[in-house]
Amino acid sequence: MRLSGPKISTRSTPAPGQSLQHGEITIAYQPILRGGSIAIMCYFLFDLVTRLAFPGESHHGVMVLAVSFAALTSISVRLYLCRTRSAGQLEVAGSILCLSLFANSNLQQVLYFQDENLLYSVLMMPIFAALLPSRRTIAVATLLCFASLVILVQSNIPARMSDYIWIGFSGIAAGVAISLILRNAVLNSVKARLDAIRDRETAEALAAETRHLAECDALTNLPNRRSFFTELESRLERLRRHGEPFVLGLVDLDGFKPVNDTYGHAAGDEMLKQVAERLRTVAGDTAMPARLGGDEFALIASAPCTRSETVLQLGHRIEAQLSRPYELGEYTCKGSGSVGLLICNDPDLSTHDVMERADHALYFAKRALQGKAVLFNAALEHEMMASSQVDKALRRCNYETEFTVKFQPQYDLIKSRVIGFEALARWDSPELGTVSPDVFIQAAERAGMIRPLTQVLLTKALTAMKDWPDDLTLSFNLSAHDLMSPQAMESVLQTVRDSGLPTKRIEFEITETAMMSDFNQARRAIDQISKAGHSVALDDFGVGYSSLQYLQQLPVSKLKIDRSFVSQMLEDSSSFKIVRTMLSLSQTLGLGCVIEGVETEAQMHILRTLGARHVQGYLIGEPMTADAVLPHLSSPLKIGRPRPDICPPGLRKARA
């Protein structure tokens, strides 16, 4: 299942122009030698049958024995050549065949000389030249034939020596010619074969390399997005055909962008490589890890672990691996990854469906349990269906008519009056009814529709603000997505300029999550806002995990302490201490501070004792329509005097 690097053949083939190996040529002789052995075998068998059928020749018994031995030898050589033999073995086999011919012919002549049989000695020269694979054996065999011819002529018909010398030379010439022609033909065919092999190997290596490039991520060497989806589709096909379930996991690194921004891209790349290595370790042989892009990874695991507990164990193993420290050159960095898991056992689901479910589990893991694994379940399915309905309704809706802005007052405890309003978006969908901004803002971000929505809401808020007294400010919430595009920011600022309202009366609220996605771009956007004359407030302060770092580096002028701390301030001593610390932090840094979510007089009084100045919450006023703003300003706020029995948990002990 794992994809690996291209396999480039290690077979050595000569490069063009390089001389052919001796072994390759000799091996090419095997078919010739095999054919020769059959011919020689037939010759000896025929000779044997003839001798047995027509006996009478002197030395008949000796010759029958010799021919039988030669026939057996040629049969053995033929059988021996059935399998592919090495160059040396072919040389020996060829020599044995030739020797049996040579010995037989000469034995016949020695026992019973016939001058017409001398031609055999001559004929054998080209035959040996054709059969033998190497030059040295051809030379030896030809010389032997010539020598035997000379000896036989000298011993039997010396008067005709000069004739036979010339006939012998002709035999040698024929042998040389045949050996050259054959050698050339073999040489060319071997060369062509080697060229073909080399071309095929080059083509295969190139194809493997191209495949590798197309299927693997260059940085981490993991299968890339494309091969991940190919594998996913084939797994779904197997699920449909054979009912084989599998596990799909999506992994997203937490806080990878800050690592990239702070330590540089080389460190970021190194971190991604280490993540890939750790995923490989977890995956072992039973799962396929892949990099989908950026800091997103995925995993497809085989069937044996489709029980919920086992799947979660897999997720926990990934969590554990990813939360080990990363050695990035001179830095050591902490990290973690959120994991969304899905057991794919429903054959009716498409690739898009399974990705959507795993992605939702990942989204939940990121939102609620950063650095943890979440397995998709029925509750998440319900949530996902609801949000997909929101997505669909959002795509069809009319921003102008369905969206409105409400205004929530912000109160100055020293001046005892409202100093401004926060604009809060509302959506009354004809299909879904009232949808909470927590839901539709995220949906608009997901669907890439937040920028036009921001424009509509800002225009509505600015239009309403024109009726307000000049000393009131407007706080407007920006999405992380607004900050990520300089063009979007420019059109936000242009909308304010077009309204003709003084820029210092309009403040923008941004959340820490906006910083986390791309810190550098967020900082540029905040600079852009500040240069235009607006102040910037850091919303929901205290909820994120690296607030102080951001505070140091960003030109924000105000903190908004999240309402979750205020709501528990009276019951929970640590919430109380957090509010107290954040208030004194804002004072130390010279920043303004708004406490959100003040609902009771008791909370208000304690905040007053802690030195809080600006508050916002239902006690002062709930978000109201634009029409209700002016009447609200003219009705004085009635807040009772501090009651001595109201005391935060931290102080109770001290008083006791």
* DSSP-assigned letter for residue 500: T
Selection from 535, 519, 651, 532 nearest residue 593 by Cα: 535
Span near ligand C2E by CB under 6 A; candidates 99-107, 186-194, 215-223, 434-442: 434-442
Query: Which of ligand C2E, Mg ion, none does residue 148 bind to, with CB < 5 to 8 Å depending on kind?
Result: none
Site for Mg ion in 186-205 (CB under 5 A): none
Burial class (CB in 10 A: 0-12, 13-18, 19+), 125: buried
Q: Which is nearer to ligand C2E, 104 or 616 (CB)?
A: 616
- The SS3 assignment for 545 reads coil
Name which of 153 and 474 has its Cβ closer to ligand C2E: 474
Residues ≥6 apart with Cβ < 8 Å to 400: 456
Asked if 427 and 437 count as a contact pair (C-beta separation under 8 A), the reply is yes
Q: What letter represents residue 535's amino acid?
A: S
- Minimum distance from residue 416 beta carbon to ligand C2E (Å): 19
| Amino acid in the structure at residue 308 | S
Site string for Mg ion, 592-621 (x = CB under 5 A): ----x-------------------------
* Interior/surface letters 374-412, b for 16+ CB within 10 angstroms, e for the rest: bbbeeebeeebeebeebbebbeebebeebbebbbbbbbe
> What's the closest the beta carbon of residue 537 comes to ligand C2E, in angstroms?
9
> Measured from the CB atom, is 479 or 547 closer to ligand C2E?
479
Taking the complex as a whole, the smallest distance from the CB of residue 221 to Mg ion amounts, in Å, to 44
Measured from the CB atom, the residue of 423 and 474 that comes closer to ligand C2E is 423
Beta bridge partners of 624: 407
How far is residue 136 CA from its own chain's centroid? 59
Nearer to ligand C2E, 72 or 646 (CB): 646
| Partner from ligand C2E, Mg ion, none binding residue 617, C-beta < 5-8 Å depending on class | ligand C2E
From the list ligand C2E, Mg ion, none, partner contacted by residue 424 (C-beta under 5 to 8 A by kind): ligand C2E
Assess contact for 619 and 600: CB atoms under 8 A. Answer: yes
Residue in this structure with the two tokens 């390089």, named with its chain if needed:
18
Task: Please give the residues from 514 up to 553 whose contact with ligand C2E meets the rule CB under 6 A.
Answer: 539-540
Residues numbered 619-638 forming contacts with ligand C2E, rule: CB under 6 A: 623
Is there binding between residue 479 and ligand C2E (CB under 6 A)?
Answer: yes
Q: Which two tokens stand for residue 359?
A: 């992605």
With CB under 6 A as the rule, give the number of residues binding ligand C2E. 24
Query: Using CB under 5 A, which of 148, 477, 521, 567 touches Mg ion?
Result: 477
Strands 614-616 and 403-412, by their bridges, are antiparallel
Task: Please pick, from the candidates 201, 356, 391, 599, the single residue that binds ligand C2E as defined by CB under 6 A.
Answer: 599
In the complex with ligand C2E, the residue whose CB is nearer, 293 or 448, is 448
Q: How far is the CB of 594 from ligand C2E (least distance, A)?
A: 10
What's the closest the beta carbon of residue 424 comes to Mg ion, in angstroms?
7
Tokens representing 107? Answer: 């034995």
In contact, 298 and 354? CB cutoff 8 Å: no
d(CA 656, CA 654): 5
Interatomic CA distance for residues 13 and 192, integer angstroms: 12
- Using CB under 6 A, which residues numbered 351 to 410 contact ligand C2E? 408
Per DSSP, the three-state class of 400 is helix
Residue closer to Mg ion by CB (options 285, 438) is 438
Can residue 601 be called a binding residue for ligand C2E (CB under 6 A)? no
420 binds, among ligand C2E, Mg ion, none (CB under 5 to 8 A by kind): none
* Candidate list 361, 425, 514, 582; residue touching ligand C2E; CB under 6 A: 425
- Give yes or no for residue 539 binding Mg ion (CB under 5 A): yes
Distance between CA atoms of residues 286 and 18, nearest Å: 46
Nearest to 85 by CA among 12, 29, 128: 29
Residue with Cβ nearer Mg ion (330 or 438): 438
Residue 335 CB, shortest distance to Mg ion, in Å, is 28
Q: Angle at the Cα of 550 (from 519 to 406), degrees rounded to 5?
A: 85
Residue 512 touches ligand C2E, criterion: CB under 6 A: no
Closest CB to ligand C2E among residues 254, 509:
509
Verify binding: residue 441, ligand C2E, rule CB under 6 A: yes
SS3 420: strand
Minimum distance, C-beta of residue 619 to ligand C2E, in the bound complex (Å): 7
Give the ranges where 225-307 is alpha helix by DSSP (H): 225-242, 256-263, 265-283
Find the helix packing angle between 265-283 and 308-322, rounded to 10°: 150
Can you count the helices (H) and strands (E) in the chain?
A: 26, 16
Among 26, 477, 521, 586, binds ligand C2E (CB under 6 A): 477
Contact residues for ligand C2E, defined by CB under 6 A: 408, 423-425, 436-438, 441, 457, 477-479, 509, 539-540, 563, 596-599, 616-618, 623
